[in-house]
A and B are shown apart, each in its own frame.
Chain A
Amino acid sequence: MEELLQQVTNGLAIGGVYALVALGYTMVYGVLRLINFAHGELFTLGAYLGFTFLTSAALGPRLGTGWGLLLLALLVAGLVAVSGALLERAAYRPLREAPRLSAVVSALGASIFLQNALMLGWGARFQVYPDEALPTSAVTLGGTRVPVVRLAVILVSLALMAALWLFVNRTKLGTAIRAVALDRDAARLCGIDVDQVVRAVFLVGPALGGVAGLMVGLTYGQIGFTMGWSYGMKAFTAAILGGIGNVPGAMLGGFLLGLAESLGSAYVSSAWKDAIAFVVLIVVLLVRPTGILGERVAEKA
């Protein structure tokens, strides 16, 4: 029982990161019907920016604790959001009216470009967050020791997702985003500035991804320029699992995938961890081809 509780916590902490990254994929897909393959690299950028701020002599000591961490998260989210918007302007907007395949190829190119830029900027070796910046305290929950940082990851991801849900469902811009996702041309006819909506999506999605990268750095310490690939792959899977294009679906998919991984590796076999996660995906897609919360309507012509 104690082990089960521990494994559920482990799974939720991993799932929280997947869910945050998955939101970026799903928002872009919802609005543009485009898989932003470079999203994983924006996540990595978040991890590296956090590393740079924490190791810088001037800022490091101030950002490492308490409110400093909040400031650090805002700083990282802001910079990654700007990078996301620049990426959209440079790699996707010129291809907005082009066949969808061109945009996919451009996304792949952007991913490779960003990954190599990260390698040139920060080096090919992995980097490690400074020890004193990593929170080490733990709390005891139901007899098991849970590091605070893991609980924080779960809580912060839930809070960010709730904020995103409110933004999409309760604000004017959020309504515009949903309108463009539903039908871009009709939305434009209603006077919605589609470019502004797309820019908003490319600010919010990458900001969440960047914060996820920062949280991975703070949790595990070690970051590398290729880390976006494995996390991006899993988050993409989570987005599909929950129903791509659907915001609550991405959250659900992320947590489910994290749980499937941790429970599968605990009670079946750790060597088959990834296989179990993907079997879950295949089974879900066989039963519900649009994902768990995906809309059942056929894609509009």
Chain B
Amino acid sequence: MNRFVALLAAACFSPSVFAAEPIRIGLMAPLTGSWASEGQEMKRAVELLAAGVNARGGLLGRPVELVVEDDGGDPRTAALAAQKLASRRVAGVVGTYGSSATEAAQGIFDEAGIVQIANASTAVRLTGKGLSLFFRTCPRDDQQGRYAVGVLAATGAKRVAIVHDNTSYAKGLAEQARAGLAAAGLTLAAFETVTPGERDTTTVLTKLKAAKPDLVFFSGYYPEAGLLLRQKREMGWNVPFLGGDANNNPDLVKVAGKAAAEGFLCLSPLLPQDLEGPEARAFLAEYRSKYGAVPGSIWGVLAGDAFRVLVKAVEAAKSTEGARIASALKGSVKDFPGLSGKISFDGRGDRVGDVYRVYRVDAAGAFVLRK
């Protein structure tokens, strides 16, 4: 039911491309569920790029066929989606967004000998399991945690409250940040949990307010962040909030309302509107002309990067075999000009380099880069 199979063979290909059997590339994304807006952007970005590859004559002389599966942002659905993709014999998989979904899928891909390049799953332990076919174009949460503590200290706050939502990602990031507080001279005022999918956060907010923090760090995702901000305003409490990198989605402002979202600080890799470099500019122009707007979140762009680097590795390896693609990603693919900057992977499959910035939501509800 939730299966989207997009055969991206447009009518303009040379006959040789048509004759060959297509190379299938999987995309696993949260097309439904709380994170559907992220999943839809991932799908748009990757479909656009796949159409571009086919228009240029395909990959290894064969057309690229995208196989899209919905993981619903849920580990159980993700495991099923991974099995479906594996049975379709995809050469590699792009995605997915949530770390818990990736965690449920990565073992299945590894056993099937399929390379997976996640675009937004930043939980540390995903690359700590020794899975040689797993990569990611996003940074890691220990990096983010260290950066978060630096940002917290720079705001002049002394007492910090941390809130997470019990997902692999949010809990991991919250613990990374908590571990670094003392060294930065900060005290922990409270460490609380909200339940994703439930709309009421007032009990947690009331408890936080009683702990009197100077600043609250929320390590969860944008739907809950929006609810927290809106309900915080309703309570008449104006403590500043800093969010982790799963909050850089315009839907946060939609849920919170502009008045409540203004002043919200957010950690993020460079957002699409701030990307530089010829690849990014060309991609954004193409994206805008096809869909009418630039992508709202960076994770869709990083899914595009995962797709591009996967295509590059298949070309370099001249093979669709998982192990050979993986060794190309770790070897010959160095400083690949990605949409989000240069891409190289280390031995564990993590992306090399430092990418975090701080954004602030302005009165118009836009995420603005803080210099």
B206 touches A124 (CB 8 A): no
Measured CB to CB, the closest approach of chain A to B167, in angstroms, equals 12
Whether A230 pairs with B204 at a CB distance below 8 angstroms is no
Which residues 190-220 of A have a CB within 8 angstroms of B?
216, 219-220
State how many angstroms separate the Cβ of B179 from the closest Cβ of chain A.
Answer: 18
Q: Known: A147-B234, A220-B199, A222-B226. Is A3-B34 also a contact (CB below 8 A)?
A: no
Binary CB contact string for chain A from 119 to 149 against chain B (1 if under 8 A, 0 otherwise): 1000111101001001010100000010100
> Which of B32, B199, B235, B257 has the most chain A CB atoms closer than 10 A to its own CB?
B199
Contact B227 A220 (CB under 8 A): yes
A3 — which chain B residues lie within 8 A by C-beta?
Answer: 206-207, 209-210
Binds B, one of A33-41, A92-100, A262-270: A262-270
Instruction: Choose, from B52-60, B101-109, B187-195, B319-327, the stretch at the interface.
Output: B187-195
Residues of B within 8 A of A273 (CB): 193, 195, 203
Main secondary structure of the interface of A (DSSP, over half): helix
Partner of A128, one of B32, B207, B209, B254: B254
Knowing A222-B223, A222-B227, A230-B198 are in contact, say whether A124-B210 is a contact too (CB < 8 A): no
- Interface residue tally on B, bucketed by range: 35 or more
Over the window 273-293 of chain A, the binary record of Cβ atoms lying under 8 Å from chain B Cβ atoms (1 yes, 0 no) is 110000000000000000000
A14 at the interface (CB under 8 A from B): yes
Smallest Cβ distance from A149 to chain B, in angstroms?
A: 8
Chain A residue with the shortest CB-CB distance to B192: A270
Interface stretch of the complex, out of A4-12, A170-178, A242-250: A4-12
Q: Does B195 lie within 8 Å of A274, measured CB to CB?
A: yes
Q: A124-B33, A222-B255, A271-B166 are in contact. Are A265 and B236 (CB under 8 A)?
A: no
Most chain B beta carbons < 10 A, residue from A13, A123, A216, A221: A221
> Given that A7-B206, A222-B255, A273-B195 are contacting pairs, would A125 and B234 also be in contact in the complex, using a CB cutoff of 8 Å?
no
Interface centre among B204, B231, B234 (most CB of A within 10 A): B234
Query: Would B32 and A222 count as touching, CB distance under 8 A?
Result: no
Q: Are B203 and A224 in contact (CB under 8 A)?
A: no
Distance in Å: Cβ of A128 to nearest Cβ of chain B: 5
Chain B residues, CB < 8 A from A230: 197-198
Report whether B236 and A125 are in contact in the complex, using a CB–CB cutoff of 8 Å.
no
B366 contacts chain A at the CB level, 8 A cutoff: no
Give Cα A219 to B230, complex, Å: 10
Contacts of B197 in A (CB 8 A): 226-227, 229-230
B280 on the A face (CB < 8 A): no
Interface pair B166/A266, CB less than 8 Å apart: no
The smallest C-beta distance from B285 to any residue of chain A, in angstroms, reads: 25
Q: Which of A116, A123, A134, A270 contacts B193 (CB 8 A)?
A: A270
In angstroms, Cα B193 to Cα A265, docked, is 9
Are B34 and A126 in contact, CB atoms less than 8 angstroms apart? yes
Residues of A within 8 A of B257 (CB): 131, 134, 221
Question: Which residues in A have their C-beta under 8 angstroms from that of B36?
Answer: 123-126
Q: Which of B1, B195, B203, B226 has the most CB of A within 10 A?
A: B203
Question: Pick the contact of B200 from A14, A225, A274 — CB < 8 Å?
Answer: A14
Which residues of the other chain, A, contact B258 by a CB distance below 8 angstroms?
A: 131
A261 within 8 A of B: yes
Binding site secondary structure of chain B = helix
Q: Which residues of B contact A225 (CB under 8 A)?
A: 32
Across the interface, name the chain B residue whose C-beta is closest to A272. B193
Give bound CA distance, A126 to B196, whole Å: 13
Q: Are B199 and A6 in contact (CB under 8 A)?
A: no
B202 in the interface, Cβ–Cβ < 8 Å? yes
Query: Does B143 lie at the interface of the complex (its beta carbon under 8 Å from any beta carbon of A)?
Result: no
**Interface residues in B234-254 (C-beta closer than 8 Å to A):** 234-236, 251, 254
B273 within 8 A of A: no
CB contacts (< 8 Å) of B231 on chain A: these are: 220
Evaluate whether A270 and B223 lie within 8 angstroms (CB atoms) in the complex, with A6-B206, A125-B36, A126-B34 already known: no
**CB-based contact B203/A262 at 8 Å:** yes
Chain B residues with CB under 8 Å of A220's CB are 199-200, 227, 230-231
Give Cα distance in the complex from A59 to B208, angstroms.
39
Q: What 0/1 readout, one digit per residue, does chain B (166-195) give for beta carbons within 8 Å of chain A?
A: 100000000000000000000000001111
Q: CA–CA, A229 to B265, complex, Å?
A: 32
Q: Are A222 and B199 in contact (CB under 8 A)?
A: yes
Task: Determine whether B132 belongs to the interface, using a CB cutoff of 8 Å to chain A.
Answer: no
User: Measured between alpha carbons, how far is A103 from B166 in the docked complex, in Å?
Assistant: 36
Using known A-B contacts A126-B36, A138-B234, A222-B255, determine if residue A7 contacts B203 with beta carbons closer than 8 Å. yes
A229 proximity list for chain B (CB < 8 A): 197
> What is the chain B residue whose CB lies nearest that of A220?
B199
- B37, B194, B199, B235: the one contacting A270 at CB < 8 Å is B194
Residues 221-242 of A, flagged 1 when their CB comes within 8 A of B and 0 if not, give 1101111011000000000000
Cα A273 to Cα B195 in complex, Å, equals 8
A221 to B229, CA, bound (A): 12
Q: Is the pair B31, A124 in contact by a Cβ cutoff of 8 Å?
A: yes
Query: If A124-B32, A126-B36, A222-B255 touch, does A10 touch B203 (CB 8 Å cutoff)?
Result: yes
B194: A residues at CB distance < 8 A: 270
Q: Smallest Cβ distance from A264 to chain B, in angstroms?
A: 9
Query: By the criterion CB–CB under 8 Å, are A138 and B236 in contact?
Result: yes
- Min C-beta distance of B2 to chain A, whole Å: 9
Quote the shortest CB–CB distance from B68 to chain A (angstroms): 13
Interfacial chain A residues near B236, Cβ < 8 Å: 138, 145
CA gap between A265 and B37 in the complex, in Å: 30
| CA–CA, A222 and B235, complex, Å | 17
**CB–CB B206/A136 < 8 A:** no
One of A145, A147, A216, A269 near B199 (C-beta < 8 A): A216
CB pairs A–B below 8 angstroms (7 shown): A13-B200, A124-B31, A124-B33, A221-B227, A222-B227, A270-B192, A271-B192
Q: Taking A10-B203, A14-B200 as given, write out 4 further A-B residue pairs in contact, using a Cβ cutoff of 8 Å, ordered by the A residue number.
A: A3-B210, A7-B207, A220-B231, A221-B230
5 nearest A-B pairs in the assembled complex, by CB-CB distance: A220-B199, A271-B193, A124-B32, A124-B36, A262-B203
- Which residues of B come within 8 Å of A, CB atoms? 1, 31-34, 36-37, 40, 166, 192-195, 197-200, 202-204, 206-207, 209-210, 223, 226-227, 230-231, 234-236, 251, 254-255, 257-258
